[in-house]
Amino acid sequence: MTILRSPHGRWLDLRRPQVLGILNITPDSFHAGSRVATEADLLRRAEAMLTAGAAALDLGGYSTRPGADDVSPDAEKARLLPALAAVRREFPQAFLSADTFRAAVAAEAVAAGADLVNDVGGGTLDPEMLPTVARLGVPYGLMHLRGTPQTMTQRTDYGPADADLLPALLRHGRDQLAALHALPGGRAVDVLFDPGLGFAKTPAQSHALLRRLPELAPLGCPLLLGLSRKRMVYGPLGRTAAEALNGTTALHMLALAGGARLLRVHDVREAVEAVTLYGVV
């Protein structure tokens, strides 16, 4: 499966790697430069990303950075749904992703025009998420996470020498895919698998996963990778998230070499250039 088909008739072709631009409608996302506070700012940034070559845009109203405050479903909807409607109105052909782990938010986002549900919980944070995705027939980003965004930094023990790290991801992916496929309509859902770099994983564990991406191939899903400006990039460099663009680009090339098909990024032009050069050399 290399083409994601939206229930709205739009599609995303992953036969070559593509770029997913991040639009954070939150006041506390870890990279301050990714936050948008007004509709005008949102639309300017969306246009710039699409012009720079983003194949899709990922809109989120709940920050999942380590230690972020919990946000109520109503507050998340109040951020996400108007933003999604505005981007859909201005860019009717754009492929849009709703970044949420809540089934009710996902359902309303799809009704408002979202083409993909990008779930950091991979169906573990809301028992209604997989049934909702199956019922709607919407493409689904299934991520690996232990705990919640509030507790995940305490859930990084994968056994001696992290021996169970990759098997844990494979079990999670297989279990959640089996649960989805057992639902009416579930087998028709196009699924991306995201190993969740930085989510319940130390920087060293995320680096190890980046090296071992090809071992996730048995899941049979295109890989969605989100490493843009994360601690795994800026920590070893002694930098900050704001200074991590060059390091992000370097690791994007490793992700592409490991089989990533969709890069979730803050900096679209640079990521598109990385994809282009990866396809040339």
Nearby residues of 280 by Cβ (< 8 Å), 6 or more positions away: none
7-11, 44-48, 162-166: least confident range:
162-166
Place of tokens 């493409």: 139
- Percent of the chain past pLDDT 70, that is, above it, reads 96
Question: Is there a contact between 12 and 57 (Cβ–Cβ < 8 Å)?
Answer: no
Taken in order of first residue, the domains within the chain and their CATH numbers are: 17-280 (3.20.20.20)
pLDDT digits (tens, 9 = 90+) for 74-116: 999 999 999 999 999 999 999 999 999 999 999 999 999 999 9
Report d(CA 116, CA 236) in Å as an integer. 33
Neighbours of 72 (CB within 10 A): 9
Please give the average per-residue pLDDT across 219-234, as a whole number. Answer: 97
Question: Is there a contact between 36 and 23 (Cβ–Cβ < 8 Å)?
Answer: yes
pLDDT number for residue 27: 72
Question: Is there a contact between 92 and 115 (Cβ–Cβ < 8 Å)?
Answer: no
14-23, 58-67, 80-89: least confident range:
58-67
Q: What are the residue numbers of the active site? A: 230, 264
pLDDT number for residue 153: 86
Written as six digits, the tokens of 153 are 């930094």
Closest alpha carbon to 139 in 237, 232, 58: 58
pLDDT number for residue 34: 55
pLDDT at 150 over 90: no
Question: Is there a contact between 109 and 132 (Cβ–Cβ < 8 Å)?
Answer: no
Closest alpha carbon to 216 in 197, 194, 198, 201: 194
Nearby residues of 155 by Cβ (< 8 Å), 6 or more positions away: 146, 147, 200
